[in-house]
């Protein structure tokens, strides 16, 4: 029997929380809130909720001029709708004697290590007092490059930061299929082992209704979280009692709803997890020789030494995130540097120096 989940993150997508007309589905919200409350009160599970739906809630309150700039429309709807969304959640949870809180974040909030730790401390305090954090992207200020790919990326960052046992991703399909879900003979994939499945070959790039990310993005993000030792479930949020089933059947021999991405048996350190999600902030690249590549990818604990470098591309300061690439330009991993680019260039190929990137600060793909 598997270990019981004690802390979970639940991501509810916009395609679950909205109707076909793009308006909030309050009936379904009530069902999910009831299940979350049951997990907390009956099963003593700590729950973090990552919820879309602010733009849809705003759409239910105001009609904007169709000539309005698309980004401006999203900002206005999110600003108005977030108040409505958290109000609905607050009223629904109150019926179950449960207090919730609102946390709005941007991608930049995860970039600075100290800011990251401050945010983590806030989450820990809320959970300590039995309060459900309801997290959403701050769409009012998140535009273009500041945006998450979608709330799956945000959910992954939160799940990793808070060291949850499992991440439940609720969407409008039953899980990952070995072909397009609407095609005949297509089957649901219950378990994903990355050593046996090539996600690029089986996933349709067709996007779901109201979400920004397609299934390929969703699954690649799920695999990244699973590599950090967190079980990731993708399931249909419209399925009756889905959260309770995911929780109870994950600790039994019964067949799970949806698709489970098997977690890596070893969990990395807190700072390694932070590095793993910092790829978008990489300011430069370090090119390594074949010997360094093989050493890094072996089962042995290995830091990146100057002797293994062949080239430095770009500029960076000590403590910046950089990509690690092989001679062909393929990504090996990312890491946080111990030197700036000037010192690193001076030591390329040399022995007898401290690591450019310490093992504890490297995340390998």
**Which 3-state string (H, E, C) describes 130-177?**
CCEEEEEECCCCCCHHHCCCCHHHHHHHHHHHCCCCEEEEEECCCCEE
User: Was 52 annotated as part of a binding site?
Assistant: yes
Quick one: CA torsion of 170, 171, 172, 178, rounded to 10 degrees? -110
Between β-strands 7-12 and 166-171, what pairing exists: parallel, antiparallel or unpaired? Answer: parallel
Which residues, 6 or more positions from 57, have their beta carbon under 8 angstroms from its beta carbon?
A: 24, 80, 81, 82, 84, 85, 88
Domains in the chain, start-ordered, CATH in brackets?
A: 7-270 (3.40.1160.10), 280-364 (2.30.130.10)
69 marked among binding-site residues: no
Do the annotations mark residue 27 as ligand-binding?
no
In tens digits, what is the pLDDT along the chain, a chain of 365 residues? 456 899 999 999 888 988 877 778 889 999 999 999 999 999 999 999 999 888 888 888 888 777 666 778 878 888 888 899 999 999 999 999 999 999 998 887 887 778 888 999 999 999 999 999 999 887 766 655 555 666 788 899 999 999 999 999 999 888 888 776 667 777 888 888 776 666 666 654 444 433 334 667 778 788 889 988 999 999 999 999 999 999 998 766 568 888 999 998 888 777 887 887 777 778 799 999 999 999 998 888 889 999 999 999 999 999 889 999 999 999 888 999 999 999 999 999 999 999 999 988 998 87
151 assigned to a ligand binding site: yes
Measured distance CA(42)–CA(103) in Å, rounded: 25
φ and ψ at 133, to 5 degrees? -75, 125
- Other beta carbons within 10 Å of 283: 14
């Amino acid at each position: 029997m598997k270990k019981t989940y004690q802390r979970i993150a639940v991501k509810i997508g916009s395609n679950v929380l909205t109707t076909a007309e793009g308006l909030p589905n309050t009936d379904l919200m009530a069902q999910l809130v009831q299940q979350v409350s049951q997990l907390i009160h009956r099963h003593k599970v700590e729950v973090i909720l990552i919820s879309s739906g602010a733009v849809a809630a705003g759409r239910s309150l105001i009609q904007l001029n169709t000539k309005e700039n698309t980004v401006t429309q999203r900002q206005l709807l999110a600003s108005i709708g977030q108040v409505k969304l958290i109000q609905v959640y607050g009223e629904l949870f109150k019926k179950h004697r449960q207090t919730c809180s609102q946390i709005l974040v941007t991608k930049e909030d995860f970039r600075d290590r100290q800011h990251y730790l401050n945010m983590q401390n806030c989450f820990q305090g809320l959970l300590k007092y039995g309060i459900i954090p309801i997290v959403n992207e701050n769409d009012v200020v998140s535009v273009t490059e500041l945006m998450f790919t979608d709330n799956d990326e945000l959910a992954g960052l939160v799940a990793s930061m808070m060291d949850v046992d499992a991440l439940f991703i609720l969407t409008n399909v039953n899980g990952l299929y070995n072909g397009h879900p609407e095609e005949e003979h297509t089957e649901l994939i219950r378990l994903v082992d990355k050593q046996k499945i090539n996600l690029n070959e089986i996933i349709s790039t067709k996007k779901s209704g109201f979400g920004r990310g397609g299934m390929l993005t969703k699954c690649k993000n799920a695999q990244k979280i699973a590599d950090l030792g967190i079980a990731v479930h993708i399931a249909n949020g419209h399925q009756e009692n889905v959260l309770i089933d995911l929780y109870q059947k994950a600790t039994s021999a019964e067949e799970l709803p949806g698709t489970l991405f098997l977690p890596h048996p070893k969990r990395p350190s807190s700072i390694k997890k932070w590095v793993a999600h910092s790829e978008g902030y990489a300011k430069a690249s370090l090119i390594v020789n074949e010997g360094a590549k093989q050493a890094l990818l072996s089962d042995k604990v290995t830091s990146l030494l100057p002797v293994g470098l062949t080239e430095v591309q770009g500029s960076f300061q000590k403590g910046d995130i950089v990509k690690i690439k092989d001679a062909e330009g393929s990504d090996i991993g990312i890491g946080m540097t111990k030197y700036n680019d000037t010192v690193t260039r001076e030591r390329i190929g040399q022995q007898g120096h401290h690591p450019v990137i310490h093992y504890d600060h490297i995340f390998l793909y």
